[in-house]
Structure 1
Amino acid sequence: MPQALSVTQALNRASKAIKTGEVEVAEDLYLKVLERFPANRRAQAGLLTLCQGSATEMAQSAREMQARGNLYAAEKRWSFAVCRSPETAGLGVGLALCRLEMGQAAAALDAVDKVLEACPDDARALDTRGRALRDLGRMEEAEACHRAALRGGIEDTGPLNHLGILAQARGERAAAAEFYRRAIALRPEVPDLHHNLSHVHRYAEGDAHIAQMERLLSRVAPNDPGQAPLHFALFKAFDDLDQLDLAFHHLVRGNRMKQAALGYEVRHDALRFAHVKSLFAAPVEEVVAESPLPVRPIFVVGLPRSGTTLVEQVLAQAPGTQGCGELSVIARAAARLLRGLQEDKRAALEPQDLSRMRTEIAEGLARYSNGAPVMIDKMPLNFRWLGFIAAALPEARIVHVVRDPMSVAWSLFRHAFAGRGNGFAYSIGGITAYMLLHRDLMAYWQRRLPRKIATLDYDAMVRDPDPELRALVAACGLEWHDDCLSPHRSGSAVLTASAAQVRQPIHDTSNAAWLRYETQMEPLRAALAQAGLL
């Protein structure tokens, strides 16, 4: 519900939306009222009127929407199902899992906590709560939930896997491997478990895990997209063994499967970027806030795999800072604002849009805060929303990390990302097109926001860290500490694909990693060169 509307106004507007056939608008308004006032009978009745079918049918519909990647609609459908049958624990867990996939850890925690109020020993709810707490940075509480979810049976696969992810995030590779092996012993047919194990295991000749994965692949359809994680795991295994042709064969297979499953089309991003640019074609006034934010945010942006995790870890060593990893707060607020413009059929931003966005972001960041005065959000794809950030949060600092394009492209191509957010990364065409979009949009923001964005050259930083990092810390308005030169000693948990790299001292060897596959990667290098990116 937009902040300017009272509950009565929202309910009246929902009734009017139903009469004009704007069912989705009415659904949103009722759900927003119920988020604030769960017992509001008028909103409950209105929503139930819109809900067609049983809770079971709505849950099935939600699962189908989720599988297609339509998470916004799926979340609404899960919410309807919970309203229809609030006593059914599985529905609340389904809602929480959907919100986790959307990156809404705080909202997921709210949903699963309601389940646990009624069913405190529900293993799936406990495990889901652990995942939400992990994404909120509350690692010890998360571990306690996952351990409480263990029951001594096949259902332990999820908690064991999640305990492995926690151990891996802490740099405890041996412990993580043991958790993953225990999960595989229970459910050897689950590809993601093998992929997770491959990240923390160093393969040797005759390794039994390689043979196990090859047997699994021999038993399934050759183009089953669900088996993509096995191919990425076998790439890692054969790369460890220096069998480069075989390793690259599995990498190509894995990427093709991911590309087929996600169906990424660059035109959708091109249209979105063009729309965002159109909103800032004319100058947009910054929000004049009545009160300061409770925390000052720093946003580290760039292409995925460009070094944003290392930069966050460096900044998090400065006094008074909290590294938060990759938050969805900005993306969620931007998506809500853009939906509102579309529903209202408006082509320009108004001051109240940005004021509401500021309030939503402040509330979202507060859910992740540990009390430090500065929070660091290193969600790379926030580069899409820099105009909104600069206007709604004028006190924020923005760091744009740039890196050798070939190093970034190779790192993108060799990783299987969680979720659907990096769908461009699984083909040469997708990587090249998205890198062009990124270059174009960042050039646009640099013209519109010339004094708002600090650019950090990753390659210069790893070659000569001291001067580059001192300048970076100063640009962010932070106090220097010598620990900024040794982020690998921090011991903080890292949940991104860079978890292993940031445990090492700052070095520049990773930029040459693609040369190991120079022959195989020639088509990608040629595509980047033809596009003018090299």
Structure 2
Amino acid sequence: MAGPERNAVSEARALLARGEGAEAMRLLDRAVMADPGDMACRRLRGEIAIREGRMEVARADLEAAVRAEPGDVSLLHALAGACHATGSASTAIGYLERALALAPGQPRLWHSLGLVCHGAGRYRAALDAYQRALAIDPGLSPAAVGIAKVRQLLGELEPARRIFESVLARDPGNLDALGGLVLREELLGNVERAMGLLESARQRHPLPPDLVIPWARLRRRAGHAAEARESLEAILPRIADVQTRALALFALGHALDDLGDNDRAFAVITEANALKPRDFDAEGHRRRLNAIARAWTREALEGLAGMGCTSDQPVFIVGMPRSGTSLLEQILSRHPGIHACGELGVIGAIAAEWQDDRGVVAPTGLTREGLLAAAGRYLQEAGAGDAARLTDKMPANFIHLGVIQALFPGARIIHCLRDPLDTCLSCYFQDFSALGLSWSCRLEDIADYYDSYKGLMDHWRRTIDLPLLEVAYEDVVAAVEAQTRRVLAFLDLAWDPTCLAFEDSDRPVTTASFDQVSRGLYGSAVGRHKAYRKHLGPLLRIAEAGADER
């Protein structure tokens, strides 16, 4: 077999050298069809398929090649790229970790690990990987840009700006760094400045799809949805990368929504979500939340009384994503007595360290020393200083209200509510997969997640002793001052009229809600689902149950 293998591979390489890639692929297809065990041909076909954007073909061929040569670092690296492009981040990370175990001194491997962790929402792991790459090769600009992008996502906009500008000073044509600066200005609400950066680049050369997407998004925010739609429709046929294509489709769906083309908007968003892996285990999630409810009874909480931190600073804003948590925190952030932390993620990390293989923290396993140490770590991460209150608006902290009461018996909980169909539709229209919210990609999964969320919140209402205030998004839109006064009274804080100037805040919102928060209060978000009701079949069962919460 050695002779024919070498001949097919040699001929294919010669065709590639002459620019005849399609003929090279046909040759390799015939060779692999004749002998599926021809690993040399499968490896080359996989490498070509990556360049052509045929990621499923690439993945199958490279997986076969890796089985034959498990210690080949370049093969593992290429296969990780194919897995990442097809939405299998965890698998990609596994292959990269195998490659790094064999070759820990390769900065490109560390950079690739950073990219995959970044895309999967594992930001601390991404930072570590990017920093390792840069330590090995200080001139590796993509790693520096990766660090800046992650720091920007974590709300560290000024350090991110310095890194972006440093990269651009060395490499003025670095469009990735330019895109980071554009996003920074967008997060800060500086739409004209962001557009200026893109227009300046566009005068020098055509924008790549990665920059056409933010350009279109900005044009839409400026009231030019039709122009945004046209630019996105023009680039979509040229986008092979799955993640970039999904981003373009989400942007197009929002533009079509603005234009009132609801049927097409829904179809485009469905196409975008179909590109995301469906790995949400609804039954497993339901079992976990039910197990948490069984473990965290009133009796279990009474057994932990007096063991936690006495600080009354923490205020946890919880609920479903897209229920108004970002808007409420932005309003509260204007109060001089409140330190707004955004979505901290520390409670989830603490719970992950304590939980068993079911994802449940056992109250009986907690100690006073452990609780005080974890509470101190939380307050240090929050960095609230002398502020009377700190807000943490991680929506999924609703899962951990029992742990929160054990840690901070003086904390307060604000539960944000919104019409369930508006909430779930908004989740479906948002690209949450990078944050690990894979349940948001299918209507059936969103409905199951909502059911589980509602069931656990019903349990906490009956069980916890923490003060809990429920705030409806629709009420905030209808009477923002009255609702703000109500929330401040709940927090034992004096009224401050600057809270009503939240639209003028220079505090960046780095979550997925930054576009909505920057637009301020707008009534069109209330009852939005009515224009899409005929498409919402799997969600309709939650409407009646959700109405009971109001």
Instruction: Tell me if TM exceeds 0.5.
Output: yes
SS of equivalent residue, structure 1 residue 150: helix
Judged with a 3 Å threshold, the aligned counterparts in structure 2 of structure 1 residues 321 and 101 are, in CA distance, closer, same or farther, namely: farther
The TM-score normalised by the length of structure 2 is: 0.73
Aligned partner letter, 2:107: A
SS of equivalent residue, structure 1 residue 158: helix
SS of equivalent residue, structure 1 residue 325: coil
Q: What does 1:89-238 align with in structure 2 at a 5 Å threshold?
A: 89-97=107-115, 100-101=118-119, 103=121, 105=123, 108-109=126-127, 112-113=130-131, 115-117=133-135, 119-150=137-168, 156-179=174-197, 188-190=208-210, 193-202=211-220, 204=224, 207=227, 210-218=229-237, 227-238=245-256
Structure-1 separation of matches of 2:279 and 2:92? 19
CA contact (8 A) 1:318 1:479 kept: no
SS of equivalent residue, structure 1 residue 301: strand
The question of 1:467 aligning with 2:482 is answered yes
1:270 corresponds in structure 2 to 286
For residue 378 of structure 1, report the CA deviation from its aligned partner: 0.9
Aligned partner letter, 1:188: P
CA contact (8 A) 2:300 2:363 kept: no
**Percent of aligned positions that are identical:** 26
1:417 corresponds in structure 2 to 432
> How many residues get paired?
472
String of CA shifts for 1:286-318, please: whole Å, max 9, x gaps: 37558766x932211100100000111122122
String of CA shifts for 1:417-468, please: whole Å, max 9, x gaps: 2515332223332222222111111001111114442222222232222332
SS of equivalent residue, structure 1 residue 500: helix
CA contact (8 A) 1:96 1:108 kept: yes
Structure-1 separation of matches of 2:449 and 2:89? 22
2:416 corresponds in structure 1 to 401
Gaps of at least 5 residues in structure 2 are 1-69
Name the stretch that deviates more: 420-429 or 124-133.
Answer: 420-429
Structure-2 separation of matches of 1:470 and 1:509? 24
CA contact (8 A) 2:83 2:89 kept: yes
CA contact (8 A) 1:168 1:176 kept: yes
Q: 1:449 aligns with which of 452, 464, 472?
A: 464
CA contact (8 A) 2:144 2:167 kept: yes
CA contact (8 A) 1:262 1:420 kept: no
Structure-2 separation of matches of 1:200 and 1:128? 22
CA contact (8 A) 1:194 1:233 kept: no
The question of 1:313 aligning with 2:333 is answered no
Q: What does 1:340-379 align with in structure 2 at a 5 Å threshold?
A: 341-342=356-357, 348-352=362-366, 355-356=369-370, 359-360=373-374, 362-363=376-377, 366-367=380-381, 369=383, 371=385, 373=387, 374-379=389-394
The TM-score normalised by the length of structure 1 is: 0.75
SS of equivalent residue, structure 1 residue 276: helix
Q: 1:249 aligns with which of 255, 267, 283?
A: 267
Judged with a 3 Å threshold, the aligned counterparts in structure 2 of structure 1 residues 267 and 199 are, in CA distance, closer, same or farther, namely: farther
Judged with a 3 Å threshold, the aligned counterparts in structure 2 of structure 1 residues 62 and 231 are, in CA distance, closer, same or farther, namely: closer
Aligned partner letter, 2:250: F
Structure-2 separation of matches of 1:220 and 1:114? 31
For residue 360 of structure 1, report the CA deviation from its aligned partner: 4.2
Structure-2 separation of matches of 1:477 and 1:506? 25
Q: 2:502 aligns with which of 487, 499, 505?
A: 487
Aligned partner letter, 1:319: P
CA contact (8 A) 2:313 2:411 kept: yes
CA contact (8 A) 1:306 1:402 kept: yes
Aligned partner letter, 2:184: L
1:326 corresponds in structure 2 to 343
1:43 corresponds in structure 2 to none
Structure-1 separation of matches of 2:86 and 2:370? 30
CA contact (8 A) 1:170 1:492 kept: yes
The structure number with the bigger radius of gyration is 2
Judged with a 3 Å threshold, the aligned counterparts in structure 2 of structure 1 residues 414 and 109 are, in CA distance, closer, same or farther, namely: closer
CA contact (8 A) 1:82 1:88 kept: yes
Name the stretch that deviates more: 444-453 or 352-361.
Answer: 352-361
CA contact (8 A) 1:300 1:379 kept: yes
